[in-house]
Structure 1
Amino acid sequence: MTVLRAVLDAARSGAVEILDLTTPLHAATPVLELPEPFANTSRFRLDELSRYDDRGPAWYWNDIHTGEHTGTHLDAPVHWITGRGGLDVSQAPMSTLVSAAAVIDMTAEAAKDPDFVLEVDHIRTWEAEHGPLPEGGWLLYRTGWDARGGDPAAFANADEAGPHTPGLSAECARWLAEESPLTGVGVETVGIDAGAAMGFEPPFPCHHYLLGAGKWGLTSLRNLGLLPPTGALLIVCPLPIVSGSGSPTRVLALVER
């Protein structure tokens, strides 16, 4: 039996479960909102072209209007000034789009403090229990934030001081970019940085360090609580937008049961 046939048979039997880690796209899907004077992305919108009517009697279809960074999406290195000249989303290597996933769970910490940030020591503690981060793989950072995904206000969790959402410290972002073997980092929040990261040094350190190092980001993931700490295979499916800084993305995980 070939390897691929064995995987297919395992998926059909349930020995391998295929999990969807993607936020559905619709008009209320949360998007990142920047303060003035910065430009903001458009929300997702469908414009109906025909629906079995005189515009098209036998077919239904729509135009899609959205930003590159809407819903679950992939951040390409070229998205940030430190990655200027780097790969665009259409150039993502297949080894980045299909790779191993490590899941670190900080749900309890984020529940106590929405501004909680992941530190290098948290990752070292995880590695002491589960082994090293996967070479060329993804670190998926679970905070429980996906439970807020149906409520844009709760998802943004903003007040007069700005949004309060968990993320990574500047030192952790630098370490993952420069010293870890990872290809990228995925989060449940609207962006790969913490809500307060504009005030970090440097501002938005995940974007600054990770994308500057040619690594990738995934945002607005769901269902990370269904994944084991190690052993899942991540499949990332962005649109191959030429010169694109990112793309809405379907993200799947294969997990042995």
Structure 2
Amino acid sequence: MSVLPAVLAALDSGAVEVVDLTTPLQESTPILQLPPPLANTSPFRLEELSRYDDRGPAWYWNDIHTGEHTGTHLDAPIHWVTGKDGLDVSQAPLRTLVAPAAVIDVTAEVAADPDFLLQIDHVRAWEAEHGPLPDGGWLLMRSGWSARGDDPVAFANADEDGPHTPGVAPECARWLAQESPITGFGTETVGTDAGAAHGFDPPFSCHNYLMGANKWGLTSLRNLDRLPATGALLIVSPLPIVGGSGSPARVLALVER
């Protein structure tokens, strides 16, 4: 059997499952909140144009109001100053958008410490058990944070010191960007950086290093607990916004069962 019919047969039989990793877009979808005087993105909102009425008797449709970085979204290199001469979201290589995924599980560590930071040693230990990170693939950090995704306050987990959410240590971010073979890094949190990353050196190290290396970010992922450590195929579908720094995306994974 040729390849594509085999894939369809596997989907029909359940031998391959499609897992949706996307946070639904609605007004309550958590978004990043920056302190003043910094500008903030817009929450998602539908504006009804017609609904089988005198504005359009046979159809229902809406305008959508949202930011590029709302909900589950793709960060393009051009999103950060270190990648300002890099690719925009419409230029994402198709082999970046369809690529293997490695999943590192740090749920226990995050349950013990919401400010947990992924270190190089954590990735090395994962590689010792599962093999090297996929060349041209994605590293997804499973933290369990998506369980908070329907509660914006719990998702932000902020106090007077700022948000307390897991992320990546600066040296690990540099290593992932400059020395590892991955094309991008994904998280369950609102951004690829930890909540405390404004105080890192450099600030927002994951953005700084990944975007500067022409690599990509994915955020607000869900259902990572349904993926194996290796073997899943990630499918990322952003809007091809010309000049865009990112885009909300539907993110799926194909998993063998």
Mark yes or no: TM-score above 0.5. yes
Partner residue in 2 for 1:55: 55
Q: Note if 1:210 corresponds to 2:210.
A: yes
**Pairs aligned (count):** 257
The two structures have a TM-score, normalised by structure 1, of: 1.00
Alignment-derived partner of residue 120 in structure 2: 120
Kindly indicate whether residue 230 of structure 2 is the aligned counterpart of residue 236 of structure 1: no
Structure 2 spans left out of the alignment, 5+ residues: none
- Supply the distance in 2 between the matched residues of 1:170 and 1:4 (Cα, whole angstroms): 41
Aligned to 2:185: 185
TM value normalised by structure 2: 1.00
Unaligned stretches of 5+ residues in structure 1: none
RMSD over equivalenced CA pairs, Å: 0.3
Instruction: Encode CA deviations 1:23-72: one digit per residue, 9 max, x unaligned.
Output: 00000000000001100000000000000000000000000000000000
1:166 aligns with 2:166: yes
SS in 1 for 2:123: helix
Q: Does the alignment pair 1:94 with 2:67? A: no
Q: Distance in 1 between matches of 2:127 and 2:216?
A: 21
Runs of 4+ in 1 over 3 A off after TM superposition: none
- Structure 1 residue 159: Cα displacement: 0.2
- Structure 2 distance, partners of 1:209, 1:30, is 25
Aligned partner of 2:65 in structure 1 is 65
Q: Which residue of 2 aligns with 1:225?
A: 225
Partner of 1:12: 12
Distance 2:46 2:150 in 1: 19
Residue number in structure 2 paired with 1:2: 2
| TM-fit CA distance, 1:12 | 1.1
Q: Please identify, of 1-10 and 169-178, the stretch whose mean Cα deviation from structure 2 is larger.
A: 1-10
What is the identity, as a one-letter code, of the residue corresponding to 1:249?
A
Partner in structure 2 of residue 109 of structure 1 = 109
* Residue of structure 2 equivalent to 1:247: 247
Q: Distance in 1 between matches of 2:12 and 2:184?
A: 30
User: By how many angstroms is 1:175 displaced?
Assistant: 0.1
Using the alignment, how far apart are the partners of 2:162 and 2:13 within structure 1?
A: 47
Distance of 1:12 and 1:184 partners within structure 2: 30
1:221-251 Cα offsets, whole Å, 9 max, x none, are: 0000000000000000000000000000000
Which amino acid letter does the alignment assign opposite residue 115 of structure 1?
Answer: D
User: Percent identical across equivalent pairs?
Assistant: 77
Describe the superposition over 1:142-171 as per-residue Cα deviations: whole angstroms up to 9, x where unpaired: 000000000000000000000000000000
- 1:60-91 Cα deviation digits (max 9, x unpaired): 00000000000000000000000011000000
